[in-house]
Chains A and B, each alone.
Chain A
Amino acid sequence: MIFVFPALAIYLAVIAFPIISSVGLSFTDYNIYKNLAIWTGLANYIKIFKDPVFWFSMRNNFFVIFVSVFGQIPLGFVLAYLIYRRLVKRSVFFQAMVFLPTVISTIIIGILWSKMFSPIGVVPRIIQVITNNPDYSMTIMTNKNLAMIPIGFVLLWMYTGTYLIIFLANLQNIDPDIIEAAQIDGATDGQIFRKIIVPQLYGVLVLTSILAISGSLRSFDLIFAMTGGGPAYYTNLLSIYMYNQSFIFHNYGVGSAVSTVMVILSIVLVILIRLARRKIDIMEA
C-alpha cells in the first residue's frame, strides 16, 4: 500500500478530485471569480437537455466516435497488416508517411486544413481547375448536416498513424511459425487474417476502441483550431459546447453539467465495449 500511495495521491489530486468537484459544481450557479456557488439543483442539466445546440454537439461527438472506431481503427489495422505481410514496397517510408501527421502539433494541423479548405485555399482551387468552374466553393463546410465530413477526413488523416503503430507493434509479436504452419496446412491469406491474426489482436482492438472513444469524447483542439465550432454551431463538439458555456457565457455550473454528462457517456461506452468483448470471447469459446 505504501508504494502505491504516491501514484494514488497524484491520481486523486489530478483526476478524481476535479471530476468530483465538477460534479458538485454542476448543481450550482458558480461565480468562479468570487468562488461563490449557489445551489440550483438540476437546473443546469434541464437547461442543457432543453438546448438543441447541446444535442447537435452530441451528434457531432458520435460522428467523431464513428470515424475513430469504424474509420481510424480498421484503416490503421489494414495498413499495419499490409506492412507486416510486406504487401507494399518501401514499407518503412510508407509507415513514416502515415505516421507523420501524428507528430505534428494538432493546432498547426487545424490551421493548415482550415487554410486548405478556405474559399481561397488549395482544395477549392484544385476542384475549380478540375471542374472548370471558377465559382466553385466548398459549400459542404457551411452545410448544417455535412459540415463535419471534411473534419472526419482530417481526423482519419491525422490519427490513423497512431493505430497503425499500435497494431504493427502487436502484429510483430505474433509468432511467425504459426503463420508458416498455417500456410503449410494450405490456409489462404484471408483465412490466416480471419482465423489467426484477428483473434490474436482482440485485446488490442478493444484497447484501441476504448482509446478512440475516450479520445473522441474529449476531442477539442483540432476542431477548435480548424473551425472554432462554426459556422454557427455546426461543428461544435460537447467539449467546445462546454468551453463556450464556461468561458464565453461564464456559466461555469452549466459547463460542469456538460462535463459530467461527458464522463457518464464515456463510462457507458467503455462498459458497452467490454460487454461486447466478453460476448465475443464466449462465442469464440
Chain B
Amino acid sequence: MMFKKLFCLVMALVFVSSISVCVFSQEKEVELTVLNYLDITSPEAKAWDATVEAFNAKYPNITLKIENSFGEAYHQKLAALAAAGDLPDVMYLWPGGRSAEIYKNELTEDLYPFLGPDKDKFVPAAVTPQWDGKLYELPIGITATHVMYVNTKLLIDLGLTMPKTYGELVAMVPKIKEAGLYPILMPNKAAWVMQSCLFSALVGRIAGQDWLDALIAGEASFTDQEFVDSLAFVKDMYDTGLLPPQSIQLEYGDGPNLFATGRSPFMIDGDWRVGALVPLLSEEEQENFELTVFPDIAGQKGESGSTSTVAATGFGMKAGLIGDKVDAAWKWIYFFAGPQAAEIRLIEQGMIPTYIMDLSAYDISPLAVKRGAFYPEHSGTYVLDDKITGEPINILNIGLQELALGNTTPEKLAAEIEAAR
C-alpha cells in the first residue's frame, strides 16, 4: 500500500515536472518591427534575405515585421516616425551625424549594458562611444565612404595606365571621351553622394586631418582657404570634364550596372558597392577590377592615399521597450552584427566584419579579397556628414550640386555654410 502511494506520488511529480518543463521551455511569440536600410532591387538584397532566413531559423519565436527603405527616403521616413512617436522596435542607424536627432532626443537605448563583456568580441574602433558616451547602434563594419574603383582591363584597352596624380587623371579625359565613355562614373542625383563619397575625402586630402580637427573643435572656419580650395576642386572636376554633367542626373542605383558593363574605367562610390558589383561580375572578370583612392592632388596637406572612413551603420533599439521585446530586439541587433550574419555579408558582399573572426577560413570572391586588402593600405579622415549636423551639411550637399551646375562660387557657398553653423 505504502509502495503504491509512493509510486503515485512519484508519477504525479514526474507528470507535473514534465508539464512545467514543456510550459517553461516554450518561448513566447514576439513580433519585432524592423525598419531596414535597403534598396530591395539591389544585388545586396540577397545577403539581407539570407540573414533574415538564418535569424528565423535560430529564433523561430521571433517574427520580424520588416519595412525596407533606401536613400533620403529612409532618413525622412525615420524622422517622420520619430516625430510621430512611432519608431519601430529596431532601426538602422548611423554612428553620428545622420542619426544625430534621434540620439540628441534619446529616442534609442544605449547598447553598452546589453553588450557587456561581449564588447571585446568586436574591433575596438567599432564599439567606441557614438554620442554622449553611449553606443546607440552596433556597427557591422568599418566603412570607407570613398573608393575609386578601376576597370584595369578597360584602362589598358584605352592605352592608359593608372594615374598617380590629379594632373595625369585629367590628361586622360579626351581619350576616354573619344571612346564614348564617362571619364569618371559617379551618379550623384542624390545630394549626399558627392559629399559622402568624394568631397569628404577631398577635404581630408586638401585641408588635412589637423584642419578637420580644428574645424570640429570650432577653431577653424568653413571660409578658410583650405575648405574653399576643396570646393573649388570639385568645380574643377566638372570644368575639366572628369565628371560629366550627366552624372548629376544619374540615379545612385545606376552606378554598378553601368560600371560593370564597361561604361567608364573609373567609378567613385563607397566600399559597400563591392556588394553590388560582385553579383554582376564573374570571378574572372573581378580580377580586372581594383579598389584604390583618388590620386594625389598638387599642394595637398593631407596624407597621400587617404580616404574618408567612419564606423559603419548597424541596428539600434527603440527607447522604452519592455518585456520580451527588449530581449528579442537585442537578439536581432547582436545577430545582425555577430558571427552568423557577418559570415553571410563576408561571403556575399566581401564586407569585413567588426566582429573578430578568422577570415582565412572563408572562400570569398576576388573583389571581396581586394576590399579586405584596401583598409590597411589607406588611412582614414572624417566623413563630413558624420561630424557636422543640421543645416550646414544640407547647405553643403545642395551647394555642391549648385557648384557643379555653375550657379554658385566656392567662396559664396563656404560663406553660406559658415553662416548656418
- Cα separation A33 to B82 with both chains bound (whole Å): 7
> Which residues of chain A are within 8 angstroms of B240 by Cβ–Cβ distance?
none
Task: Find A231's partner among B72, B80, B248 (CB 8 Å cutoff).
Answer: B248
Asked if B254 and A249 make an inter-chain contact with CB atoms under 8 angstroms apart, the answer reads no
Interface of A is mostly: loop
Asked if B105 and A33 make an inter-chain contact with CB atoms under 8 angstroms apart, the answer reads yes
Asked if A232 and B407 make an inter-chain contact with CB atoms under 8 angstroms apart, the answer reads yes
The minimal Cβ–Cβ distance linking B187 to chain A, given in whole angstroms, is: 9
Q: Which residue of B lies closest to A252 (CB)?
A: B83
Asked if A247 and B401 make an inter-chain contact with CB atoms under 8 angstroms apart, the answer reads no
Asked if A228 and B72 make an inter-chain contact with CB atoms under 8 angstroms apart, the answer reads yes
> Which residues of chain B are within 8 angstroms of A249 by Cβ–Cβ distance?
390-391, 394
- Cα separation A137 to B182 with both chains bound (whole Å): 13
Chain A 194-215 interface mask (CB, 8 Å, partner B; 1/0)? 0000000000000000000000
A41 within 8 A of B: no
> Which residues of chain B are within 8 angstroms of A246 by Cβ–Cβ distance?
83
Q: Which residues of chain B from 174 to 223 have a CB within 8 Å of any chain A CB?
A: 180, 189-191
> Which residues of chain A are within 8 angstroms of B249 by Cβ–Cβ distance?
117-119, 137-138, 141-142, 231
Task: Find A230's partner among B82, B105, B189, B254 (CB 8 Å cutoff).
Answer: B189
B246 within 8 A of A: yes
Asked if B79 and A250 make an inter-chain contact with CB atoms under 8 angstroms apart, the answer reads yes
- Cα separation A34 to B274 with both chains bound (whole Å): 40
Q: Which residue of B lies closest to A114 (CB)?
A: B251
> Which residues of chain B are within 8 angstroms of A120 by Cβ–Cβ distance?
250, 254, 258
Chain B 78-121 interface mask (CB, 8 Å, partner A; 1/0)? 01101100000000000000000100010100000000000000
Asked if A228 and B107 make an inter-chain contact with CB atoms under 8 angstroms apart, the answer reads no
The minimal Cβ–Cβ distance linking A244 to chain B, given in whole angstroms, is: 8
Q: Which residues of chain A from 236 to 276 have a CB within 8 Å of any chain B CB?
A: 243-244, 246-252
Interface of B is mostly: helix
Q: Which residue of A lies closest to B408 (CB)?
A: A232
Asked if B390 and A250 make an inter-chain contact with CB atoms under 8 angstroms apart, the answer reads yes
> Which residues of chain B are within 8 angstroms of A278 by Cβ–Cβ distance?
none
Q: Which residue of A lies closest to B105 (CB)?
A: A33
Q: Which residue of B lies closest to A138 (CB)?
A: B249
B173 within 8 A of A: no
B398 within 8 A of A: yes
Asked if B189 and A231 make an inter-chain contact with CB atoms under 8 angstroms apart, the answer reads yes
The minimal Cβ–Cβ distance linking A285 to chain B, given in whole angstroms, is: 51
A144 within 8 A of B: yes
Asked if A247 and B390 make an inter-chain contact with CB atoms under 8 angstroms apart, the answer reads no
Asked if B79 and A247 make an inter-chain contact with CB atoms under 8 angstroms apart, the answer reads yes
Asked if A230 and B246 make an inter-chain contact with CB atoms under 8 angstroms apart, the answer reads no
A170 within 8 A of B: no
A18 within 8 A of B: no
Q: Which residues of chain B from 243 to 297 have a CB within 8 Å of any chain A CB?
A: 245-246, 248-251, 254, 258
Contact A137 B105, CB 8 Å, known A33-B83, A249-B394: no
> Which residues of chain A are within 8 angstroms of B398 by Cβ–Cβ distance?
230, 232-233
Q: Which residues of chain B from 125 to 172 have a CB within 8 Å of any chain A CB?
A: none
The minimal Cβ–Cβ distance linking B197 to chain A, given in whole angstroms, is: 17
> Which residues of chain B are within 8 angstroms of A118 by Cβ–Cβ distance?
249-251, 254
B76 within 8 A of A: yes
- Cα separation A209 to B372 with both chains bound (whole Å): 61
The minimal Cβ–Cβ distance linking A14 to chain B, given in whole angstroms, is: 15
Asked if A32 and B251 make an inter-chain contact with CB atoms under 8 angstroms apart, the answer reads no
> Which residues of chain A are within 8 angstroms of B407 by Cβ–Cβ distance?
144, 232
B11 within 8 A of A: no
Asked if B79 and A34 make an inter-chain contact with CB atoms under 8 angstroms apart, the answer reads no
- Cα separation A164 to B402 with both chains bound (whole Å): 39
B50 within 8 A of A: no
Asked if B105 and A31 make an inter-chain contact with CB atoms under 8 angstroms apart, the answer reads yes
Q: Which residue of B lies closest to A34 (CB)?
A: B105
> Which residues of chain A are within 8 angstroms of B191 by Cβ–Cβ distance?
230, 232
> Which residues of chain B are within 8 angstroms of A21 by Cβ–Cβ distance?
none
> Which residues of chain A are within 8 angstroms of B391 by Cβ–Cβ distance?
249, 251
Counting chain A CB atoms within 10 Å of each CB, which of B82, B190, B191, B246 scores highest?
Answer: B246
Q: Which residues of chain B from 370 to 417 have a CB within 8 Å of any chain A CB?
A: 390-391, 394, 398-399, 401-402, 404-405, 407
Q: Using a CB–CB distance below 8 Å, which chain A residues touch chain B?
A: 31-34, 114-115, 117-120, 134, 137-139, 141-142, 144, 228, 230-233, 243-244, 246-252
Can you identify 24 A-B contacts, CB atoms within 8 angstroms? Answer: A32-B83, A33-B105, A114-B251, A117-B249, A118-B249, A118-B254, A120-B258, A137-B246, A139-B245, A142-B245, A142-B248, A144-B407, A230-B189, A230-B398, A231-B248, A231-B401, A232-B398, A232-B407, A244-B394, A247-B80, A248-B79, A249-B391, A249-B394, A251-B391
Q: Using a CB–CB distance below 8 Å, which chain B residues touch chain A?
A: 72, 75-76, 79-80, 82-83, 101, 105, 107, 180, 189-191, 245-246, 248-251, 254, 258, 390-391, 394, 398-399, 401-402, 404-405, 407
Known A-B contacts: A34-B105, A120-B258, A137-B249. Give 14 more (CB < 8 A).
A33-B83, A33-B101, A119-B250, A120-B254, A137-B245, A142-B248, A142-B405, A230-B398, A231-B189, A231-B249, A232-B191, A247-B80, A248-B76, A248-B79
